[in-house]
Amino acid sequence: MPTLKRLLLPLVLACQLIAPAHADNALQHWIDGPQRSEKNRQRDPARQPAATLEFFDIKPGQTVVEIWPSVGAWWFEILAPYLRDHGHYIAALHAGDHNPAAARAEHDAIGGLIASQATLYGKVELALSPGLTTTLKPDSVDLLLTFMNLHNWVTDGNADAVLREFHAVLKPGGVLGVVDHRARTDRPSAEQLQAGYLREDEVIARIEKAGFKLVARSEVAANPLDTKDHPAGVWTLPPTLRLKDQDRARYLAIGESDKFTLKFIKAGNR
């Protein structure tokens, strides 16, 4: 190898290691944007929006579905404007029998944002989950995201049916991104589920059985301070703080729950 190349090679390799995998200025623009509520912004250290979305390979031009954006519209505030002019964002709202009061509140909150801020959110498409296949075409979605919802479907007994719908609407090779509260492995799964936590190994097995392939894991939302033995389950911790002032400082010091972040691709037909 010529001397000049020998000298330059270490520098080139160092630059490759330092450079981020996806440098998306538009995504960071909306993460920092004034459209986000201060309440939502305060959760950034725990939820790591840029690192999480880049882990799931979000890109301009994609069709992205978010399942159950919730009353807080946490990811909605980022995803909808990011994809507004270069892509397609679909908010799949609560449907079915799970927590009708929460479903109504979510519908009202998301509908209110769309109506009051049409410049930002007027291009958002609404769908229902369960029920994605009634409004979305098969093999039409690039990226489907669900944040802290899977434990609800496991509790309700319809997780496998919901996953089949995800598989139906995703394109071959499309990405399913899943984040949820991670259970301990030294306690029974059923006990941990009642507290809002899921065993990561069981989640992977369930989703792969539905026709997906796990391609990556991230510890971006991990929290080793979460002992997962709280009196009101995961809802003891922020942001819910179900016990209100009881041991509030203690639970604030722990922070949000320990979470797994899993990336799957649609691997085949079901």
* Contacts of 133 by beta carbon, 8 Å cutoff, 6+ apart: 165, 168, 169
All residue ranges of the chain with pLDDT < 70 are 1-23, 268-270
What's residue 99's pLDDT? 87
What's residue 144's pLDDT? 99
* Contacts of 215 by beta carbon, 8 Å cutoff, 6+ apart: 263, 264, 265
Angstrom distance (rounded) from CA 58 to CA 177: 10
What's residue 20's pLDDT? 40
Question: 3-class secondary structure for 129-178?
Answer: ECCHHHHCCCCCEEEEEEECCHHHHHHHCCHHHHHHHHHHHEEEEEEEEE
Bond into 45 cis (ω within 30): no
Domain residue limits, the chain? 23-266
Angstrom distance (rounded) from CA 175 to CA 63: 11
What's residue 269's pLDDT? 56
CA angle 17, 18, 21 (to 5 degrees): 75
Tens digit of each residue's pLDDT (9 = 90 or more) over 124-152: 999 999 999 999 999 999 999 999 999 99
| CATH 3.40.50.150 at 23-266, yes or no | yes
Closest CA to 182 of 270, 91, 262: 262
- Is this prediction's pTM over 0.85? yes
What's residue 23's pLDDT? 44
What's residue 268's pLDDT? 67
Burial of 188 (0-12, 13-18, 19+ CB in 10 A): exposed
Tens digit of each residue's pLDDT (9 = 90 or more) over 12-48: 333 333 334 444 899 999 999 999 999 999 999 999 9
